[in-house]
Amino acid sequence: MNIELLTLSEIVDVAGQAGNFTVTVKKNPRYIDMDKCIACGICAQRCPKKVDDEFNMGIAKRKAAYIPYGQTVPLKYVIDPVNCLYFTKGKCRACEKFCPTGAVNFEDKEEILDFSVGSLILSPGFKPYDPSGLDFYGYGKIPDVVTSMEYERMLSAGGPFQGHLEKRSDGRAPKSIAWIQCVGSRNTNQCENGYCSSVCCMYAMKQALITETHIAGGGEQTIFMMDLRAHGKEFERYHQYALEHNVRFVRARPHTIDPGPGNSGVSMRYVTEDGRTMKEDFDMAVLSVGMEASDDARRLAEKTGISLNHYQFAQTSSFKPAASTREGIFIGGAFGGPLNIPTAVAQASSAAAEAARGLASSKNSLTREKKYPAETNIAGKEPRIGVFVCSCGVNISSTVDVEAVVEYTKSLPNVVFVENNMFSCSTDTQQMMAKAVAENELNRIVVAACSPRTHEPLFQDTLKEAGLNGYLLEMANIRNHNAWVHQKEPEKATQKAMDQVRMAVAKARMVQPLDKLQVDVIQKALVVGGGPAGLSAALGLADQGYETVLVEKTGQLGGNALNIRKTAKGEDVGPALREMIRNVEANQRIRVLKNARLTSVNGIVGSFSSDVEAEGKTEHIEYGAAILATGGRETVPEQYLYGTDSRVMTHLEFDRELADHAGRVKQANTAVFIQCVGSRNEKRNYCSRICCTHTAKSAIELKEQNPDMNVYVLYRDIRTYGAKEDFYTKARKLGVKFIRYDPKDNDPEVYQEDAGLKVRVTDPILGLPVVIDTDYLVLAAAIEANEVSDLLSLFRCDTNQDGFLNEAHPKLRPVDLAVDGLFMAGMAAYPKMIEGSVSQARAAVSRAGVILSRNRMYLDAVKSYVTEQCDGCAVCLDVCPYDAISLTEETIDGRSVKKVSTEAALCKGCGLCEATCPKQGIQVHSFTNNQLRAQVRAALDLPN
Amino acid sequence: MSESFEPKIIGFLCNWCAYAGGDLAGVMRIQYPPNLRAIRVMCSGMVHPEVVVEALCNGADGVIVMG
């Protein structure tokens, strides 16, 4: 209700300044009235003009009247005027003739709209690289060379081939498929994309693994790559999983693809790491294309007056990762550079927090809320069921005999009113439904139409407007699950529709009104941890007007950032960090508790309370949401003479050496860096993510101070993802030597000889051992999360097996913990740079703001509840994934009685308890055993 | 078994995946036999084994729990 979607629109101009922009938007005509369109698809069926389907990367065709894809939001058709026959040739209008609702409007005109807004967020996304210009790959000429985007559609069950892989050349199923990484990324020869696109290594592995399940016998998958970049949470394990599934990884960048025999398949040539020229045939080659800025994004930057960086992505800084160069305009997603879904989602939340910061003074002034009449009390009343059977134009009625269903429904028990509607969802029908409820004293409603997933909220709203509780609705999905999928069997479809209505009526007789759980929100926040993530979370919350308590375990704010001199982008950390600390300490809404720890946590989302022990005193605090930013740390290496020889140091120690003894460092002849010390092994089966960039930066600094110095980096895969690739490129240009090692084959050996420090490693390109006499040996020591299990058990949340906090959903809710009201930021979630910590902290602020901005919140009523039958056996406690059930004991008549009780705010209504309980002692509202049974019995036409 | 045998299959479909998949099959007009009677649940894990067994005992020709 508070979001207005403007589709087919583009920004023409942004005038004014932060807090008071006037945005001029050109809204292009859709030629279809959104209010009338019911997304039946008849316009597309009737449209005679076939066009390449952009969503399916041109592999399939769409019509000139179309929706881009099945899940389009809003689900409304559009006419493409560039291809429509009426617009190009002056006649046709078939869509108009057949549209059952009269939604087609060829007179639709473009509109120019002005909006007054305080902040703007730009998220125009990216464009996949087009490899047509790379003639050596034969893309566009050899049919079995496809881009990864095309391949994605070919693999998709919803794609043009329904997921049945076939070669474009001869339609046969492929057996062997090769992926070529870094096509249009890490490349400054054929394009200007010197950066790493960050996502392609992972998606290539994903595609290879999915391919295995789509080919009989599994097929053979090969990935050709330079470095394998699996630098995200759980990515390392995914790589191992791919290896276990026989995905072959080859370190090479194939230089030529020729057509296979008879133009079927491909013949690929490449040079291995040890210099052998290879020729290998595959059935298909997939080019893993990278991400680049689109022309639209560039134009948007121009129109909005913001700067782009040298790769044409939006310019941002480490301490303000969501801010563009124009105040009040923020950046979301891949507009700022290549990133994956979770990072894009978190980044967008961070942009939302920044945008909201500028709007804090006018918060809630324009928000809309709907009012409903008082609910009719139906307690003790016999069910009087009204059934509305929708024709959905002809969508349902062309397959299902709707009249027969209506007649049949009249015979069902408790049904007192049945009606057929042309469109149950249309505004006038909604009003008629409300009238029918009043006139017939209906107290349960069944709508036999489309999917409850899309339309239940709408019809619940109708019930509420008619004075009925929204949970007295039951839907029978006779469109998506019936008419649309049984088009050739109308009689059976009609029979099935009758069954579906009977099942819905059987359940409707048993549904009860439910009240949403109401929580009075304490509009205050708690932040645990005083590093850059915690500081920036506290500042973000305070800026939005929420009183915040910041709990820091040590006596000093700043965390790991106190030991870091420069960000990856080269900004000085010290001044920026000091400013943050000053702002936190001076902020009247923030209270900092140092040398502090939480000793208790009670309550639920919106209403938590804790005891905090700080400097010998205990105090009680209350808050509605909390952000955990408990940080991580550099580990202490256990190998390579660390601790034995003072010339061997970690990254942070070497940073101090650079700061304190610059002269001495400059005099050194040789420096060696070893990567992945303590990471990517059995103990820590993950990539520490930040070390490759740190090493590249330090190596560059050494070379710039003393170009004659010999600088070596011993690495496993260089993971300078995104624009950080520039540092790797620069280091190589400055003469830093990179030698790859594999801990299994040629783990570096470090030893002392004649007071010298020696590193011996076999160079895989030369195939010979190299002995380096070095002055410094810098170890890229692993990063791990701080040990905070006590805190986490207070909050009843958990970590993954590597000790990093678990998200509620790894992609869609990347800063939420599984416990409602808790959010995470910084290295507690995964190793990251300052920029990432700040961004994630702001994202957490945004998410916490969703709770804190209201003084009262409502939680869904579909929750578990305990019945009389519960005898306290407690088997449900173990299966509850949310820790929402506890065992209670009370004394009744001198007898101890055990029972379970549920914490409604923690319960998500999944019903594992219900399925586990041997005696129906615990059930889920609206989905009880008996309600499911009633549906089963109705399906089998047995009496209920 | 006669040729006209039409099994009646009870399906318990998770709201978040299988049921959504059923919706999408509709949008894509993927045709399949009309023998399934779907019951929407909030998680396939909420389906009690007793409910499944009873369905079979009461004459269902098959039960599919999708999630």
> Would you kindly state where each structural domain of chain B is located, as residue ranges?
9-66
Q: Is residue A767 in some structural domain?
A: yes
What pLDDT band is residue A944 in, cutting at 50, 70 and 90? confident
Nearest chain A CA: its distance from B22 CA (Å): 6
- Could you tell me the pLDDT band of residue B3, with boundaries at 50, 70 and 90? low
- Nearest CB among A480, A488, A942 relative to B23 is that of A480
From A474, A508, A542, the end of a domain falls on: A508
- Is pLDDT at A159 greater than 90 in this prediction? no
Q: Is the pLDDT of residue A218 over 80?
A: yes
Last residue of a domain, one of A755, A782, A809: A782
Task: Quote the distance between the C-alpha of residue B15 and its chain's center.
Answer: 12
Which of B43, B56, B58 would best serve as a mutation to test chain A binding (most A beta carbons within 10 A)?
A: B43
How far does the CA of residue A189 sit from the closest CA of chain B (Å)?
A: 43
Q: Model-level pTM?
A: 0.85
- Residue partners of A43: CB distance under 8 A and separation at least 6: A32, A63, A65, A77, A79, A95, A98, A99, A103, A104
Tokens of A883: 């820790």
Looking at the complex, report in whole angstroms how far the Cα of residue A421 sits from the nearest Cα belonging to chain B.
20
Residue A222 CA to residue A230 CA, distance in Å, equals: 17
CB A674 within 8 A of CB A778: yes
Mean pLDDT of chain B: 92
Distance CA A362, CA A848 (A): 18
Instruction: Provide the 8-state DSSP code for A399.
Output: T
**Does A52 have pLDDT greater than 90?**
yes
Residue numbers in A near B39 (CB within 8 A): 503, 932, 935-936, 939
Question: Residue B34: which of A453, A492, A942 has the nearest Cβ?
Answer: A492
Q: List B residues 2-61 in contact with A (Cβ-Cβ < 8 A).
A: 6, 8, 10, 12, 15, 19-20, 22-34, 37-43, 45-51, 54-55, 58-60
Who among B42, B49, B59 is closest to A910 (CB)? B42
Confidence of residue A393 (pLDDT cuts 50, 70, 90): confident
Residue A192, in any domain of the structure: yes
Is there a single domain that holds both residue A622 and residue A640? no
Contact B23 A454 (CB under 8 A): yes
Dihedral sign for Cα atoms in the order A89, A90, A94, A99? positive
A315 part of a folded domain: no
Nearest by CB to A914, from B6, B12, B48: name it. Answer: B48
Candidates B12, B26, B41; nearest CB to A480: B26
Q: End-to-end distance of chain B based on CA atoms, in angstroms? A: 31
Instruction: Note the pLDDT of residue A808.
Output: 87
Mean pLDDT to the nearest integer, A160-176? 92
Which tens digit of pLDDT belongs to each residue from A515-540? Answer: 988 889 999 999 999 999 999 999 99
Domain assignment present for residue A349? The answer is no
Together in a domain, A498 and A537: no
Best residue in A69, A395, A920, A927 to probe B by mutation, most B CBs within 10 Å?
A927
**Residue A68 is part of a domain; what is its CATH number?**
3.30.70
How many distinct structural domains can be found in chain A?
Answer: 6
Residue B2: is its pLDDT beyond 60? no
**Is A777 contained in some domain?**
yes
Do A486 and A573 belong together in one domain?
no
A785 by Cβ neighbours in 10 Å (0-12 / 13-18 / 19+) ranks as buried
The pLDDT confidence band at residue A369, using thresholds 50, 70 and 90, is: confident
How far does CA A144 lie from the centroid of its chain? 32
Both A132 and A281 in one domain: the answer is yes
- What distance in Å separates the CA atoms of residue A664 and residue A879, rounded to the nearest whole number? 61
Query: What pLDDT, in 10s, does the model give residues A684-725?
Result: 999 999 999 999 999 999 999 999 999 999 999 999 999 999
The listed range with the strongest mean pLDDT (A307-321, A342-356, A472-486) is: A472-486
Asked if residue A582 belongs to a domain, the reply is yes
Instruction: Return the closest-CA partner of residue A835 out of A638, A568, A477.
Output: A568
Is pLDDT above 70 for A128?
yes
Mean pLDDT over A848-876 rounds to 93
Please say which residue of A782, A814, A849 terminates a domain.
A782
Residue-level pLDDT at A685: 96
Contact across the interface for A915 and B38, Cβ inside 8 Å:
no
Q: What is the CATH number of the domain that holds A760?
A: 3.50.50.60
Over residues A158-171, mean pLDDT:
88
Q: Is residue A300 part of a domain?
A: no
Regarding whether A615 and A668 lie in a shared domain, the answer is no
Q: What is the pLDDT of residue A24?
A: 97
Contact between B54 and A936 using a beta-carbon 8 Å cutoff: yes
Domain coverage including residue A399: 385-508
- Mean pLDDT score of chain A: 94
Give A642-663 pLDDT, tens digit per residue.
Answer: 999 999 999 999 999 999 999 9
Classify residue A163 by burial, with Cβ atoms within 10 Å: 0-12, 13-18, 19+.
middle
Ramachandran quadrant class, A828 (left: phi over 0; alpha: psi -120 to 50; beta: rest): alpha
CA-based nearest distance A373→chain B, Å: 29
Per-residue HEC secondary structure of A124-159 comes to: CCCEECCHHHCHHHCCCCCCCEEEHHHHHHHHCCCC
3-state secondary structure labels for all residues of A288-305: EECEECCHHHHHHHHHHC
A927/B38 touch (CB, cutoff 8 Å), yes or no: no
**A915 and A799 assigned to the same domain:** no
Q: Where residue A408 sits, what CATH number does that domain have? A: 3.40.50
- Specify whether A580 is located in the same domain as A466: no
Residue A871: inside a domain, yes or no? Answer: yes
User: Per residue in A605-646, pLDDT tens?
Assistant: 999 999 999 988 999 999 999 999 999 999 999 999 999 999
- Tell which A residues from 448 to 467 touch B, by Cβ distance under 8 Å: 451-454
